[in-house]
C-alpha cells in the first residue's frame, strides 16, 4: 500500500499556475521568492501574469514548473506532512525529475532553478532553429515505431524520445528524418502521426551539447542523498545514490523518458496511489491509461492540498 509522488514536465505550464498556493500559504510564496532570487529576475511575475508565449519558452517553463511543484510541496509540509514518512518513491517527467529530486532534498530549490535555467538554455542552443523536430505517434506498437525510426534515420537522428503510455510515443531528431519517421509510422498503421510545435528535438542524440552542459552544471552544486528513492526516467530503477542520480540526469538529456514503464514499475512494486504534485493533470491522465488499478490525484491548488492532507493522514 505504497504512495509515490510524481512531478510534471514541460507542457503542463499555464499562466497563473501556483498563484492560489502563493496567496494561501506563506511557505509556498517563499518558494517563488527563492526562485526569483536564484535567477535574478521576477520569474514569479511571468508565472502568475504571463504572457503565455514567454512562459512557454523552454528556459522559463522548466524552472517555472519546478517552482509550482515545490510550492505545493512546501504547502503540504507546512501542515505537518513528511515526504520521508509517507511516500515510498518520487519520479518526474523529464524536467520533473529535477522537481522530484528537489522535493526529496537532492538539491536546493535555488540550485534546481539555476540548473533548469541552464538546462533549458542549453537544450535550446544545442540545435539551430528549424533543424530538429518531434512528432507524436498515436496507436502504434513500440517495436513498429522503433523500426520506423531506424529506417527513417538515413545517417541522421530519429529516435523515440518519450514513451508516455496509453499508446502515445514521441519521436525526436533531425527534421527531415522525423518527417520520414512520422510518414512511415502512418504507413505502418498509426492512428495519428502529428508533428509537434516544439523549439528543439528534446531527448535525442542531437542534445549532446546540452548533456555536456548539464554534466558541468551538476558538478558545481551541492548534492545530497534524497530522503526517498527517485525512479529515474532513463533506467526505471529507484536509487538514493548521489553519483548515480547525477549520471542519470546527464543521460536523461539525450535519453528516452520511459514514463509508461515507470508507472508500470510502480504498479509492480506495491504502489497503490500516485499524487501528481504541481501544475496540471497530464501525468494523472497518463497513469489512468497505463494502470487503472493505481489511484491518482493531482495536487496543485489549496483545495487539492487540503484533500491530499486528509487522505494522507
Q: Please, what sign has the CA dihedral across residues 174, 172, 202, 242?
A: negative
Report whether 197 contacts 238 (CB < 8 A). no
For cell 524520445, what's the residue?
161
Query: Catalytic one among 44, 94, 232, 284?
Result: 94
C-alpha span between 183 and 37 (Å, rounded): 46
Report whether 142 contacts 160 (CB < 8 A). yes
C-alpha span between 311 and 117 (Å, rounded): 34
Give the pLDDT confidence score for residue 197 in this predicted structure. 86
Give the pLDDT confidence score for residue 1 in this predicted structure. 82
Give the pLDDT confidence score for residue 171 in this predicted structure. 98
| 268 Cβ neighbours under 8 A, 6+ residues apart | none
Give the pLDDT confidence score for residue 150 in this predicted structure. 98
Report whether 75 contacts 302 (CB < 8 A). yes
C-alpha span between 231 and 4 (Å, rounded): 10
Q: How many CB atoms lie within 10 A of CB 143?
A: 8
Tens digit of pLDDT at every position of the chain (313 positions): 899 999 999 999 999 999 999 999 999 999 999 999 999 999 999 999 999 999 999 999 999 999 999 999 999 999 999 999 999 999 999 999 999 999 999 999 999 999 999 999 999 999 998 999 999 999 999 999 999 999 999 999 999 999 999 899 999 999 999 999 999 999 999 999 999 988 899 999 999 999 999 999 999 999 999 999 999 999 999 999 999 999 999 999 999 999 999 999 999 999 999 999 999 999 999 999 999 999 999 999 999 999 999 999 8
Q: Is 108 a catalytic residue?
A: no
Q: Is 93 a catalytic residue?
A: no
| 31 Cβ neighbours under 8 A, 6+ residues apart | 67, 70, 71, 74, 109
Cell numbers describing residue 42: 521576477
Query: Catalytic one among 203, 204, 284, 298?
Result: 203
Amino acid at each position: 500500500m505504497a504512495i509515490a509522488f510524481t512531478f510534471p514536465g514541460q507542457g503542463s505550464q499555464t499562466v497563473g499556475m501556483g498563484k492560489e498556493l502563493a496567496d494561501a500559504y506563506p511557505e509556498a510564496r517563499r518558494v517563488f521568492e527563492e526562485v526569483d532570487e536564484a535567477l535574478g529576475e521576477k520569474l514569479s511575475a511571468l508565472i502568475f501574469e504571463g504572457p503565455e508565449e514567454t512562459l512557454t519558452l523552454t528556459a522559463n517553463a522548466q524552472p517555472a514548473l519546478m517552482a509550482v511543484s515545490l510550492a505545493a510541496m512546501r504547502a503540504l509540509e507546512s501542515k505537518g506532512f513528511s515526504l520521508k514518512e509517507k511516500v515510498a518513491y518520487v519520479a518526474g517527467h523529464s524536467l520533473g525529475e529535477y522537481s522530484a529530486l528537489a522535493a526529496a532534498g537532492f538539491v536546493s530549490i535555488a540550485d534546481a532553478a539555476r540548473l533548469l535555467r541552464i538546462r533549458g538554455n542549453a537544450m535550446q542552443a544545442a540545435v539551430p532553429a528549424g533543424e530538429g523536430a518531434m512528432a507524436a505517434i498515436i496507436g502504434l506498437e513500440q517495436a513498429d515505431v522503433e523500426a520506423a525510426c531506424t529506417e527513417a534515420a538515413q545517417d541522421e537522428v530519429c529516435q523515440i524520445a518519450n514513451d508516455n503510455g496509453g499508446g502515445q510515443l514521441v519521436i525526436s531528431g533531425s527534421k527531415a528524418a522525423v518527417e520520414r519517421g512520422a510518414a512511415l509510422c502512418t504507413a505502418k498503421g498509426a492512428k495519428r502521426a502529428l508533428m509537434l510545435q516544439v523549439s528543439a528535438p528534446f531527448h535525442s542524440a542531437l542534445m549532446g551539447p546540452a548533456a555536456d552542459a548539464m554534466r558541468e552544471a551538476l558538478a558545481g552544486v551541492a548534492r545530497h542523498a534524497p530522503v526517498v528513492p527517485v525512479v529515474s526516467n532513463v533506467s526505471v530503477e529507484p536509487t538514493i545514490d548521489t553519483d548515480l542520480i547525477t549520471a542519470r540526469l546527464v543521460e536523461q538529456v539525450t535519453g528516452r523518458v520511459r514514463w509508461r514503464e515507470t508507472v508500470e514499475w510502480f504498479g509492480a512494486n506495491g504502489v497503490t496511489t500516485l499524487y501528481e504534485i504541481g501544475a496540471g493533470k497530464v501525468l494523472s491522465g497518463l497513469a489512468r491509461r497505463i494502470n487503472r488499478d493505481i489511484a491518482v490525484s493531482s495536487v496543485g491548488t489549496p483545495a487539492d492540498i487540503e484533500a491530499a492532507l486528509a487522505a494522507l493522514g
